[in-house]
Amino acid sequence: MATLTLDRPAIAEIASSIFDAVLYVPARVAHAHEMRAEIEHVMALTDAEIGAMQTTRETLLRNIAQRV
């Protein structure tokens, strides 16, 4: 039977990789859920809401241009 010998740096690297995976994957999944919710919100906007946002944007840009 073969024996695998690991030194301290190798063990630390393996432990670090496992720790990163345990923290990273759930964070990415949570971020994906947040992004999906945001996309669904945007997709649900009505034409009137989009028009109002465009008008607000144009008004803000006009106001900024007048101050410069």
pLDDT the model gives residue 2: 67
pLDDT digits (tens, 9 = 90+) for 18-27: 888 888 888 8
Q: What confidence tens digit (pLDDT) does each residue in 2-48 have?
A: 677 778 888 888 888 888 888 888 888 889 999 999 999 888 888 88
* Residue 1: predicted pLDDT: 63
Task: Give the per-residue pLDDT at 17.
Answer: 87
What span, in angstroms and rounded, lies between the C-alpha atoms of 57 and 50? 11
For residues 52 and 8, what is the distance between their CA atoms, to the nearest angstrom?
61
Q: What was the pLDDT predicted at 36?
A: 92
pTM of the model: 0.44
For 10-55, give the DSSP string: HHHHHHHHHHHHHHHHHHHHHHHHHHHHHHHHHHT--HHHHHHHHH
